């Protein structure tokens, strides 16, 4: 059991660490390692209250008499996607915004992604746990590697892109203060919609759409976030944000 626990934790956290290394290399002025670790850990810890909130909302949703299709949309877009995107943002809002570490526009995008990777790391670990009493260690290892890889190119990557998208709109809001609330809502809405559509497509669509829609979302978001990084890099520092 100890061996399996170590296996699950290692391959659950590994995808997040690989993506973390990739994104940190984009920062010309590296953030303090202690601050990165702090936001990453808080992103992980926030997974638990998010789960409780989602459980409560799911119970409320089950009491509403609506068509199954509508219930499914509300579940994936509001119960799952909105709560996760908001709480990942809440970590950065409470732990980073206002500190002296947030001194350039790119920082908000990076810390949003770091929070998302912390969240994804624990989520990955939880996804790896499944009944394995009658399976050999090699079978468990093969399953773990497969799930870890799928989540590396899928859910973990999606978390970074959705949070990075919201981070971009937050960076814009530092300059356009008159529309700060609207930019935040726009970023949160886009992050929620693409996150919800990704999950909804995988669960509800059939045939080629079940794969082409999520892949299209990842590619489109990746292009957007790359362009957003380049644009934010060109923004001048606004001092303590």
Tell whether 27 is covered by a domain. yes
Please, are residues 187 and 170 in contact by the beta-carbon 8 Å criterion?
A: yes
> 28 phi and psi, to 5 degrees?
-65, -35
List pLDDT tens digits, range 124-148: 999 888 666 667 778 788 888 988 9
Residue 98 inside a domain? The answer is yes
Q: 159-189 pLDDT, tens per residue?
A: 999 999 999 999 999 888 899 999 999 999 9
**Does residue 136 belong to any structural domain of this protein?**
no
Residue 141 lies in a domain: no
Rounded to a whole number, what is the distance in angstroms from the first to the last CA of the chain? Answer: 46
Q: How far apart are CA 195 and CA 217, in angstroms?
A: 9
Percent of the chain with pLDDT over 90: 69
Residue 239: inside a domain, yes or no? no
Q: What is the pTM of this model?
A: 0.92
Residue span of the structural domain in which 119 resides: 2-129+146-233
Do 160 and 147 contact (CB within 8 A), yes or no?
no
100 vs 214, residue with greater confidence? 214
pLDDT for position 237? 57
Q: Cα angle at 19 between 123 and 122, to 5 degrees?
A: 15
């Amino acid at each position: 059991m100890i061996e399996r626990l170590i296996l699950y934790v290692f391959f659950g956290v590994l995808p997040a660490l690989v993506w973390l290394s990739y994104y940190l290399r984009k920062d010309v002025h590296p953030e303090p390692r202690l601050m990165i670790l702090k936001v990453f850990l808080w992103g992980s810890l926030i997974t638990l209250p998010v789960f409780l909130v989602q459980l409560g909302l799911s119970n409320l949703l089950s009491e509403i008499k609506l068509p199954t299709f509508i219930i499914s949309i509300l579940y994936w877009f509001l119960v799952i996607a909105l709560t996760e995107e908001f709480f990942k943002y809440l970590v950065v809002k409470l732990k980073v915004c206002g500190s002296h570490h947030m001194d350039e526009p790119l920082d908000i995008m990076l810390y949003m992604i770091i929070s998302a990777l912390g969240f994804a790391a624990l989520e990955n670990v939880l996804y790896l746990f499944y009944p394995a009493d009658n399976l050999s260690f090699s079978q468990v290892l093969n399953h773990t590697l497969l799930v870890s890889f799928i989540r590396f190119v899928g859910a973990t990557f999606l978390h970074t892109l959705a949070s990075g998208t919201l981070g971009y709109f937050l960076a814009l809001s530092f300059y356009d203060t008159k529309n700060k609330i609207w930019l935040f809502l726009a970023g949160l809405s886009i992050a929620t919609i693409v996150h919800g559509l990704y999950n909804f497509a995988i669960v509800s669509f059939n045939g080629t759409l079940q794969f082409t829609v999520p892949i299209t979302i990842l590619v489109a978001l990746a292009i957007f976030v790359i362009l957003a990084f380049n644009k934010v890099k060109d923004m001048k520092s606004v001092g303590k944000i």
